[in-house]
Amino acid sequence: MKAIDSHVHCGLVGSSGIGEPDQSFEAYYGLVKGCGIDGAVFFPPVIEVYNRYDPYFTDSSEWQGRRNAAHDYLLSLTGNLDFKVFPYLFVWNDYAYERLSEGFYGVKWHRHSGEPRYNYDDPRCLRFIQEVRLRRMPVVLEEEFHNTVRFVKDLAPGVTVIIPHCGMLNGGYERIKAEGLWELENVYADTALAPSWIIEDFISRYGPEKLLFGSDFPFGDPVGELRKVTGLKVDDGVKLMICRENILRILERVRKEGS
């Protein structure tokens, strides 16, 4: 079965990075070649965006340069004819909406508890969200629970939001369920590292149309994560929706420059 991996960290950092596995295109493609995955959503590794180990991290021109280099690397991969690459912009507190028009298909919005915080009150944040809305871009949102709720309900209502790991790192699947976020038409989930019972519960309650296959490479094994989805006790049409059709439907809505 052909599949698009909707959750891949890909960047310049290699095996020489301290505690960081190789996240180059070659490392990923070497794993998935021949397994049925013929395209992927790529966003830079966290280490190329901000210092997650310093809760008081302050942005700088050096870090902005690092982010720009990471995003340029992803954009350089889009000409690969054998493997379709959909680059996402990993947003940080400079809210670089000026770059959204350069060929990106979506946005990665990411932080964990104890890490540096997004400045949601910065006027550039609202401008960034406005540009995302105008371009119909999806946002992969991995944040603390209260910020997830605020983003979906207050800051960006109606914007396509993909909550990774079926919400396990956004406060938990059940907590998001209780808040009613999964029921919203614009809120999706990806399967990366989520257990099969949660995936099956999501399908039964909210439908397969709102679920996307993802691996979370390099933290998840793309082949194993794909096998988890294709092994679900659902018909092949449902598997195809999750593995390919749903993410392509979202990406086809994105307004590229000049459209």
Residue 257: per-residue pLDDT: 57
Does residue 56 have a pLDDT over 70?
yes
* 163 in any annotated domain: yes
As given in the structure block, the two tokens for residue 42 are: 């790529």
Query: How many angstroms separate the Cα of 86 from the Cα of each of 76, 134, 137, 146, 227?
Result: 11, 19, 12, 29, 22
* 257 in any annotated domain: no
Residue 16: per-residue pLDDT: 44
Local structure of residue 45 (DSSP, 8 states): -
Between 12 and 194, residue with greater pLDDT: 194
Number of domains in the chain: 1
* 195 in any annotated domain: yes
The DSSP element (H or E) to which 141 belongs, if any, is strand 139-142
Mean pLDDT, to the nearest integer, of 170-176?
99
Question: What is the span of the domain harbouring residue 167?
Answer: 3-252
Residue 80: per-residue pLDDT: 79
Mean pLDDT, to the nearest integer, of 224-239?
98
The share of the chain scoring above pLDDT 70, in percent, equals 96
What's the residue count for the chain? 259
Query: How many angstroms separate the Cα of 201 from the Cα of each of 3, 7, 119, 164?
Result: 22, 21, 34, 16
* 258 in any annotated domain: no
Mean pLDDT, all residues of the chain: 95
Q: What is the pLDDT of residues 74-116, one digit of tens each?
A: 999 998 788 999 999 999 999 999 999 999 999 999 999 999 9
Residue type at 240? L
Tell me the C-alpha distance between 217 and 63, whole Å.
Answer: 23
Does residue 258 have a pLDDT over 70?
no
Residue 33: per-residue pLDDT: 95
* 259 in any annotated domain: no
Residue 145: per-residue pLDDT: 98
Query: Which CATH number characterizes residue 30's domain?
Result: 3.20.20.140
Mean pLDDT, to the nearest integer, of 41-53?
95
Where does the pLDDT of residue 20 fall: very low under 50, low under 70, confident under 90, or very high at 90 and above? confident
As given in the structure block, the two tokens for residue 3 are: 């599949």
Q: How many CB atoms lie within 10 A of CB 42?
A: 27
